[in-house]
């Protein structure tokens, strides 16, 4: 019996300063999955790390490792953080709640910007990374494959992604609240990621005087600069470019801030105290929050921009409702499928075991009785089979309805395995009680 677990935090439970400390870049994610599998053999794991969330999905035996505490400790140790630094922001979900959550995430219904399309790709990337590392199996493979399919359906069948205000467009709007003309302004882009490209598209439309691209990898900088008719500049000269820039878009993968208050304070005089619009869309952040305290500096990070976008979501209520309906339907379908898949082998074992016991008892009785014809023998066999079926009908029916009755499937299945000795190992080892053993005497049901 497998169990689904999810431990994570997101933009609703943790502020940016906590999320950025727990964030994983691609290389870290691979390393984390490998370390996780090395520590907890036999389990499945997918690590989803985006600007808004860090979530560890685990599929494991119902009573296997890791426990929730071990998952939390793993995150803490991987990042060298005290558990107390993020513990209060974590949420834990199990089984059906994991399915509901992941489907909502993939459909961008759990995003700060509802209808954003990036999250679907990020879910797929997270899954594929684990797939390549053989970290997924019968639990997480169908779950993530279905989640991606549901996400696609929501984005194609509803208007959730239409009329959406993007983070980049909000950044451009805010730039227009600071500056009147852009023909005399310089836009500096630090980093060359997807978010930087989206932001640059918006700023290119404002026709700034100059567009500078600054990246540690000069080839990427040149490619991006050519695409936007800008100029690639060396990363080592960043302070000089900050002097000439009026708008700075930063989205590097740096684990440490690249623009500190100290650095920017030192540039103010050279900048002649001109106002500057700093857009930090990196997680972890590239620009120290203290920079925003400097006069004439307007610093916006990803959360600030996303909150503005989120403020416009009430206008798309119909699309959101339609998307939720799709997700709910698919969660139900998947949950039923998942439950049956989990229960099937157990129920099968239950019937096989008791039919075998009944058959053994019948054979023993028939061996002691003489003169029973073949048709009578067939009748008795059929009666025995029906008795077993009727006896097992109630526990099996209760098991199938366990989720609706408020008991997690895993818990009911586990109870059934223990009560009826269905654990494969135990089944093989356990000796069947003889007639003389202390097996409880069951009342006859024929009323005799």
Partner 1 sequence: MPEVGQIALLILAIVLFAAGGALSLARLQSEAPRLRLAAKACLYWGVLVALAVLVWHAARRGNWRPLGDNFDTLIWLGLLLALFVLYTQRVHPLRGLDWFVLPISILLLIFAAIFGRATPHEYVDSTWSWVHRVSAYGGAVAFAIAGAVGGMFLLSSRRLRTRRLAPGPNLGSLERLERLTLAWVTLGFPLLTIGLITGLVRALDPRVHDSLGPHWYATPKVVLAFAVWVVYALVLHSPINPVFRGRKAAVLSVFGFLLMIGTIVATEFMKQ
According to CB under 8 A, which residues from 288 to 307 bind partner 1?
A: 292, 295-296, 298, 300, 304, 307
26 binds partner 1 (CB under 8 A): no
Min dist CB 213 to partner 1, Å, is 24
Active site residue 214: no
Min dist CB 111 to partner 1, Å, is 18
Separation CA 305–CA 298 (nearest Å): 12
| Active-site entry in 51, 189, 214, 429 | 51
Pair 103, 150: CB distance under 8 Å: yes
**351 Cβ contact list (under 8 Å, min separation 6):** 388, 389, 392
Question: CB-wise, 297 or 422, nearer to partner 1?
Answer: 297
According to CB under 8 A, which residues from 365 to 394 bind partner 1?
A: none
Min dist CB 291 to partner 1, Å, is 12
Residue window 211-250: x/- pattern of binding to partner 1, with contact defined by CB under 8 A: ----------------------------------------
Separation CA 363–CA 417 (nearest Å): 26
Question: CB-wise, 30 or 271, nearer to partner 1?
Answer: 271
Min dist CB 199 to partner 1, Å, is 17
According to CB under 8 A, which residues from 184 to 203 bind partner 1?
A: none
Min dist CB 282 to partner 1, Å, is 17
Question: CB-wise, 25 or 312, nearer to partner 1?
Answer: 312
Pairing mode, strands 91-94 and 2-10: antiparallel
According to CB under 8 A, which residues from 305 to 344 bind partner 1?
A: 307-308, 311
The CA–CA distances, whole Å, from 368 to 113, 207, 371, 433 equal: 76, 100, 10, 19
For residue 137, what are its two tokens?
Answer: 């199996």
* Alpha carbon 98 to its chain's center: 8
Residues 130/134/139/144 CA torsion (nearest 10 deg): 30
Question: CB-wise, 298 or 354, nearer to partner 1?
Answer: 298
According to CB under 8 A, which residues from 252 to 291 bind partner 1?
A: 272-275
Question: CB-wise, 298 or 421, nearer to partner 1?
Answer: 298
**182 Cβ contact list (under 8 Å, min separation 6):** 175, 206, 207, 208, 209
Residue window 139-178: x/- pattern of binding to partner 1, with contact defined by CB under 8 A: -----------------------------------x-xxx
Q: Peptide bond before 78: cis, by omega within 30 degrees of 0?
A: no
94 three-state secondary structure: strand
Separation CA 47–CA 39 (nearest Å): 15
According to CB under 8 A, which residues from 83 to 102 bind partner 1?
A: none
Pair 323, 160: CB distance under 8 Å: yes
Which residues are catalytic, by number? 51
**Chain contacts with partner 1 (rule: CB under 8 A):** 174, 176-181, 272-275, 292, 295-296, 298, 300, 304, 307-308, 311
């Amino acid at each position: 019996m497998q169990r689904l677990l999810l431990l994570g935090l997101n933009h609703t439970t943790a502020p940016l300063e906590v999320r950025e400390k727990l964030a994983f870049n691609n290389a870290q994610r691979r390393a984390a999955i490998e370390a996780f599998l090395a520590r907890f053999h036999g389990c499945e794991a997918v690590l989803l790390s985006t600007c808004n969330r860090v979530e560890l999905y685990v599929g494991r035996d119902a009573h296997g490792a890791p426990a929730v505490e071990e998952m939390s400790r793993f995150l803490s140790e991987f990042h060298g953080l005290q558990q107390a630094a993020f513990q209060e922001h974590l949420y834990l979900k199990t089984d059906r709640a994991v399915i509901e959550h992941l489907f909502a995430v993939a459909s961008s219904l759990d995003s700060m910007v509802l209808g954003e399309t990036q999250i679907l790709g990020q879910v797929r990337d997270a899954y594929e990374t684990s797939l390549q590392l053989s970290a997924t199996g019968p639990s997480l493979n169908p779950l993530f494959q279905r989640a991606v399919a549901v996400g696609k359906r929501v984005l194609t069948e509803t208007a959730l992604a239409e009329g959406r205000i993007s983070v980049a467009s909000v950044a451009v709007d805010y730039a227009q609240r600071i500056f009147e003309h852009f023909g005399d302004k310089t836009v500096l882009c630090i980093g060359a990621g997807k978010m930087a490209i989206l932001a640059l598209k918006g700023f290119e439309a404002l026709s700034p005087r100059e567009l500078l691209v600054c990246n540690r990898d000069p080839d990427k900088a040149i490619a991006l600069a050519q695409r936007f008719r800008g100029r690639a500049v060396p990363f080592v000269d960043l302070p000089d470019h900050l002097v000439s820039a009026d708008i700075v878009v930063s989205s590097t993968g740096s684990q440490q801030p690249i623009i500190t208050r100290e650095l920017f304070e030192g540039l103010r005089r050279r900048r002649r105290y001109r106002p500057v619009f700093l857009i930090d869309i990196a997680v972890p952040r590239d620009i120290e929050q203290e920079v925003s305290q400097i006069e004439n500096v307007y610093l916006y990070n990803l959360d600030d921009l996303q909150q503005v976008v989120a403020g416009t979501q009430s206008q798309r209520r119909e699309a959101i409702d339609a998307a939720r309906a799709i997700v709910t339907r698919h969660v139900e379908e998947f949950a039923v499928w998942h439950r049956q898949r989990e229960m099937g082998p157990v129920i099968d074992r239950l019937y096989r075991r008791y039919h075998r016991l009944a058959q053994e008892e019948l054979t023993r009785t028939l061996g002691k009785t003489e003169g029973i014809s073949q048709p009578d023998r067939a009748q008795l066999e059929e009666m025995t089979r029906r008795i077993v079926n009727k006896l097992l009908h109630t526990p099996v029916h209760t098991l199938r309805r366990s989720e609706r009755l408020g008991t997690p499937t895993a818990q009911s299945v586990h109870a059934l395995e223990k009560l009826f000795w269905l654990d494969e190992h135990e089944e093989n080892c356990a000796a069947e009680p003889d007639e003389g053993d202390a097996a409880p005497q069951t009342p006859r049901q024929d009323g005799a």
